Structures are given as structure tokens and as C-alpha cells.
Structure 1
């Protein structure tokens, strides 16, 4: 889940899409409505000699350049396929285009949070994904699944990590590897606060959307999410109460800084030592690499704490996949490209490995495909801004710990108006955990779930 305006390496959200083919070998498409309500399906893979042209949509920015270079590798492998790679405002354009069917790309990048709500307008890719299913992150498969069918090609995996200031923890006598549970995290914050009474060591997010995204990462650690596979709301649960009570304790004990992600106040608190513990996604690595000047080299990453001893040490925070519109002109070639980028060498190495855009490799996520996440074959280099830490190993270990999830409901982003805003009131001390759950659940059920 991500929002268009949220930075992640200046939003590090990508997009890819294409269009026009002939000679598609054994790949077949079932006509929509052929059996009543069955979705349109793709099966098989085109031959290596296939010819044609496709249009692929991506977001502008650094990631567009990364995929542009990776698509050059695809062209080498498939010289008879022309790829028109276009930078598009996907969030403003794609949903309406899917509905109207006019001027569609053959494929596009899209946020996981938006795929489930548009499944009827997308190709069913279940049969094509099947050979890669056992080697793909269960989390990524689950968020791309609707009614047992897969509608997105899983791309990136965004594990949660615990980011910390190594110098401040050493000064306070805190061993970061000893922070095994969220209670341990509170104790670490207390030790830091004893050294600096002005500190609120733990970052709590002030942006309602990102705050809810963060909440879902912590819920995913416990094997739950805002809705189950049938779309039933499950906010009123032990797992969410555990998280919200932990937040209340952090606020009540003065152990947190409530700030907007990487905005001026947040950066100042990170630089001057008031914040030293940031439970956040892998894409926070953007901060020490690009934004934190005084403390560059002093930050490290480790596994998130667990909610219970022996529990999962990571959860997913955000993520993106690739979709093929059901009315695309050349969906077979779009699949050929996405298969190359996500499941084949040199495709995924071209995306994540060293490039002219990122000389050390793209280190703000990892592939969802397990064979691409070999601990002994890192796709990106150790990160100088993290004191030369091997972030690849930390991140792939975290990725392996992410529990499976349910498809993200189509109304998720709208629920921020209720849950996301109420979580902010909890962080400000104006609501209790029970207030947040009761008010949010009632309004989400009435205004979103029932209407959906």
C-alpha cells in the first residue's frame, strides 16, 4: 500500500506497462463472459521468437529510469518485441482507464492496495503464476488474490525493520539485538530517555495515511489485517488492541516523538538525537542515504521486535505489483515482460543490481521472488550511509519472516478518514484504544463495508 504523495526514495514507486503482438505461440486468452461470470484468463507463455509491440505504464522518477534500463535487458532477450515505456500519473489515470477501456496500456505498475478493488478489470494470472507460486512470498500472493485467483504479478517486498542510532544506543548501554519484543523496545526507549530527558526516542507517525499503513505492518506481524479474505472487518480484535495499547504506553510515558515522515521536524529530531528508534519499512533507508547529513553513517537496521516471544520479526509495509488490463491489446507480451523482470535472470538483477541510477543497487525493497533473495548473492551492495552495513542480509531475513495476509479491500484508503485519523487522536492523547476501535469500526462498517 502506498499513496502517490508519500516519498519512498522520493516515493520509489514504479510502474511498467506495454502494447501490440503477433505469433504468440501457446499463450491463450479466454474471452470475457465465456462462462458467465468467469474472469478473463491468461495461460501459457509466448515463444522466444515472438514479435509485437506493447505499451507499459510506470511512474516518473528514479524508479522509471531503473525499469527503463531493465527493459533494455528484456529487449536483448526478445529483440522482436518493441516496448513503449511511458511515464504516467498512474494514480490519476489508471483506474478510470480500466473502467472505460479506452487507451489502455498492456501492463502497468500498481500499488497492492488498489488491485483487489479492480480485479474485474484485470486478467486472471493464476495459471501463469503457478510455476512460481511456491517460491514467491506468501504475503505478496495473498494481497494479489481475490476469490482464490491471482490478479497481480508480485514485484517488490517491503519488510519492516527497526532502524536505530548506533551511537546513542551504545551510550545508553542498549544492545539492539536484545530488543526482541515490543516491551523491550519500550525499555530501550526508557534507557535512551534517561540519557537525554528531551528525547522521545520512538518515532510515531503524524500523517494519518502513513500512520495507518504503519499500523497494518504491526498487525501483519501478528497474522491479521483490517479485513479478512471475505472482506469482513476485524479491527475489533486482541491484535489491534495490543498495538494500540502499546502506542498509548509510549505516549503516556513520553517515549515517542510524533512527527511527519521525513519532514523538517522529523529530520531535526533524528539529527539531534531526540529520535533514535524507528520501526519502519526498508524504504526508510532513503533517509540516511539522502536526507540525514549530520548523522549519516550512524544509523543501522535490525529485525523488528516481536509482539510475543518467538513471534514474527517483520511485517509488510506497502508494496507494488504489475497488472495486465483485461482489455489490453497484447496481454501475452506484457506477461512475457513481467515474467522476465520478476522471475527471470537477468531481469530481477537488472532491476535491483547496480545501475547508472543507483551505483550500489536499489536498496529500498527486495524482490518478492525467493530465488532472487539469496543471502549469499546480494543484488545490492552494503550501504555506506549505514556504516557499511550489509542491509541485503538484514532485509532478506526480514522478508522471510513476513506472515501471509488477506487481499487488501477496495475501501482501505478511504478508511484512513476514520481509523487513520483516530490513531492520530490516540497519539495526541485524545482517544483511548477502545475509543479508536469502537468509533473506527462502526464508521468503516457503516460507510465503507456495507456500501461496498
Structure 2
């Protein structure tokens, strides 16, 4: 039996639960980042010693286990206790108690700002690699001017589509260069098949918020600016919500929760044919879809205006080194190997026993690894043999930087995530969503402006 690919839905549902339970920002007085810089001195010696590393259970744990073996083979004086745990649930409480703290852990980007006070400042160590890290990712792992995590993956948004349905309707996939063009294509598909509701509309509050954030990031927007000022009531969000409202009002969308029965059924039967989503959607045609497996293709996202960016980012994870780690320098050496060495990232992303074709649900955030002509994973049969590597790399390099994640992002789901669903139900206008959400977030999560 072939292994089950890493499910980003499972990952993100865990993230949502952890975020909604509250971050650590409120638990740590004073600065929002730790004041314990991990210096570069002492990490140039041949590594030796013992560390404990946490990763999530499942196939991704197995991938990292093999990659860690490549590190210990290179440095046999190192012992790595690699543990599979529910990191999102366990790490916050562990950081607070200070008992049983790991030397390093794999952690969601959306959670980083909440635990920043409890992490080592890695700025000195990352400095030599800064220019080679995707700008979006560098922004995410930088809090108050300090780099507080080792950046791992990049999750560019792509447009997935049913090639058979689209071409049968007379739509040229190469024409899907703007969101207006995508609307026109959806209308054409529906004209040919009146039962079609071609464009995916996300019906989950948490994932819906993450999804709209991708559209905003594509336009250079974010919920807050670099100074922490609330910027959700702004043009990038208004443009995205206005477009989604048009999809809804014209009956061009399938409102469904990602990978749930309605979503999968409509994708298989050809009534849902356009899915603008993160690269990790590729998990769906590979493992969940039945009759439409092999009929899906991917391209870069449409642009919001001609010549605009053809990508945003949706999700992602990094490696953190707790301030109370017993052997933080050695943890850094491991993560430096996994992220910044060719041997390391090739082992993580390349073909292995877990993923015979390579790990294809994301791409590295380390730019030297993103050679479009040197793929780390193989073409994907569930996409008709398409070379997703080249498409994802092109998209990843276009993703705008400068994105900042607020500590209260997860709690905002109770407001913005809920209000987005009201828009998709026809109960609120785009302006009402933004103004109401901004008021709620400012009052309940941020305090007086």
C-alpha cells in the first residue's frame, strides 16, 4: 500500500484549535519576542551531544526521520531523540511550564508570534542566509526585528482545474491570467453545463479566513502592517471579497468545506472545476478523488490586475528553538542541515520510501533550492503527469513579502472568519464584513487604537 500523503487539512485543523485556545502572547509580559539571542560562536565546532526534536505524527515525521538520519550519518557524535507528538497542543503548555522542553520543534507559522517570547533569537545565525530566503517567509519568521524560527516550507497558492471539463467547454487554460478571466471561464463552463457551480467557495470559518488571507497577500496586503496597525479594512481584502461575492451572487460557486464529502463529490462529478488554493491541494487528487484522478491540472493563480503577482501564500511551517532548550546550538546545526544544505533539503523533498515521487505538498523557502530545472519531486500522475515543481517554483518566487501575522490571528476567526461565511451566505456585503470585523477585532482582540 502506498503511504498516505501529509494532510494539510489535519495540520490546519490542529492549528486552528491551538490558535483559538489562545496564544502565549498574553502569558508573557514585556517584549513580544525573546531576549535570548543564540550567538554564532560555538556552532562552528564539530557537533556532538544529544538533542530532543519534536515533529508531528504521521508521514511527515517519517520523512524528517530519514532526513535526520542523514545528519547523524554525517555527524556520528550526535544523538537525536526524534519524537512524534501533537506539537500544536503540547508545545505552548511546555514552554510555559519549562519542564520537558525540546531542543527544537516543527511549528505552524500562524502560531509563531504567540510563542515568540519563549524562543531563541536566531538573527545572528540566520544572517548569512537572509538574502536566500523567500521574502514572504523571512517576514513571517521575523518578529519585532528578530528572526525567531528557521524557515522551512513555502506554500504558494495555485489554481487547480479540471482540464477535461474546461477544454470541453471551449476555455483555453492559458487564458486564466486574471480573476476577471476566471469569472468569464466559469460562466462559459456553466453555459455548457447548467448544473455546474465551477469555482470553489470555502465553507470552513478557519480555512476560509486563511484562504482570503492568501488573496490579500497576493495583493501585498495583511491584517496588520509592520507597525501592528489593523489594516483589514483595506483595498486588498475588499477586492478579494467583492470578487467572492460576485461568484456567489451569480451562482458560479460551490460552497463546501475543503475535502469534505460535498467538496469531493462535486470535484469528481465535474460541477466544481476551479479551485484556487495552496499547493497542498494536490493531496486531494492524489489520495481522495476517485473518478477525476488524473484529470486535474495546476497553474499559477490569476492576477488581480493584468501584470500583477500570480501567487499568494496559504499556510506554512518552520522550526523553533525554545529559549529553555538544553542544547540549542546543536538543534541549530540540525535545522541548518535540513533547510540550508543541498543534502538536507534534497533528502526531505526528494523521492523516499514514504513519498516515492518526493514530497510535493509544498516547496522549500530556501531560494537556492528552487531551481525550476532541477526538481526535487517527480511529475504527478494524479495531475496527468504534470510537472508541478516548475509551476510551484514560479509561483513561490512571485509571492509578495512583507506579510505580518498578528498574535490574535486565530481568535479573529470568531469575527472575520465568521463574517466571511456570512458574505458567502449572502447575509453581509464586502464592506459590512470588513467594517464589522475591524470593529470587533479592535475592540475584542487589540484594545483601543
In structure 1, distance between residues paired with 2:34 and 2:82: 31
In structure 2, distance between residues paired with 1:294 and 1:131: 49
What per-residue deviation string (whole Å, max 9, x for no partner) do you get for residues 246-285 of structure 1? 1111001010000000110100000111100000000000
Which residue of structure 2 aligns with residue 412 of structure 1? 409
Indicate conservation of the 8 Å contact 1:104/1:327, yes or no.
yes
Kindly state the Cα deviation for residue 52 of structure 1 after the two structures are TM-superposed.
Answer: 0.3
What per-residue deviation string (whole Å, max 9, x for no partner) do you get for residues 365-411 of structure 1? 00000111111110000001100000000000000000003331110
Indicate conservation of the 8 Å contact 2:218/2:400, yes or no.
yes
Query: TM-score, length-normalised on structure 1?
Result: 0.92
Which residue of structure 2 aligns with residue 244 of structure 1? 241
**Equivalent residue for 2:336, pick from 335, 339, 347:** 339
**Equivalent residue for 1:258, pick from 251, 255, 258:** 255
Which residue of structure 2 aligns with residue 8 of structure 1? 8
Indicate conservation of the 8 Å contact 1:142/1:406, yes or no.
yes
Aligned ranges 1:213-292 → 2 under 5 Å: 213-292=210-289
Kindly state the Cα deviation for residue 10 of structure 1 after the two structures are TM-superposed.
Answer: 5.1
Which residue of structure 1 aligns with residue 53 of structure 2? 56
Indicate conservation of the 8 Å contact 1:13/1:63, yes or no.
no
Which residue of structure 1 aligns with residue 96 of structure 2? 99
In structure 2, distance between residues paired with 1:69 and 1:10: 22
* Structure 2 residue 160 is matched with structure 1 residue 155: no
Kindly state the Cα deviation for residue 89 of structure 1 after the two structures are TM-superposed.
Answer: 1.1
SS, match of residue 198 in structure 1: coil
In structure 2, distance between residues paired with 1:195 and 1:450: 52
Query: TM-score, length-normalised on structure 2?
Result: 0.92
Kindly state the Cα deviation for residue 439 of structure 1 after the two structures are TM-superposed.
Answer: 1.0
**Equivalent residue for 1:370, pick from 363, 367, 371:** 367
* Structure 2 residue 42 is matched with structure 1 residue 41: no
Change (3 A) 1:177 1:74: same
Runs of 4+ in 1 over 6 A off after TM superposition: 12-15
What per-residue deviation string (whole Å, max 9, x for no partner) do you get for residues 77-119 of structure 1? 1110100000111111101111221110000011111111221
* Structure 2 residue 172 is matched with structure 1 residue 185: no
In structure 1, distance between residues paired with 2:209 and 2:332: 33
**Equivalent residue for 1:421, pick from 394, 418, 423:** 418
SS, match of residue 346 in structure 1: helix
In structure 2, distance between residues paired with 1:227 and 1:381: 38
Indicate conservation of the 8 Å contact 1:48/1:78, yes or no.
no
SS, match of residue 326 in structure 1: coil
Indicate conservation of the 8 Å contact 1:14/1:58, yes or no.
no
**Number of matched pairs:** 427
CA RMSD of aligned residues (A): 1.9
In structure 1, distance between residues paired with 2:233 and 2:347: 44
* Structure 2 residue 378 is matched with structure 1 residue 381: yes
Aligned ranges 1:316-327 → 2 under 5 Å: 316-327=313-324
In structure 2, distance between residues paired with 1:424 and 1:344: 43
Q: Which runs of 5+ in 2 are unaligned?
A: 1-5, 16-32
Kindly state the Cα deviation for residue 13 of structure 1 after the two structures are TM-superposed.
Answer: 10
Indicate conservation of the 8 Å contact 2:54/2:104, yes or no.
yes
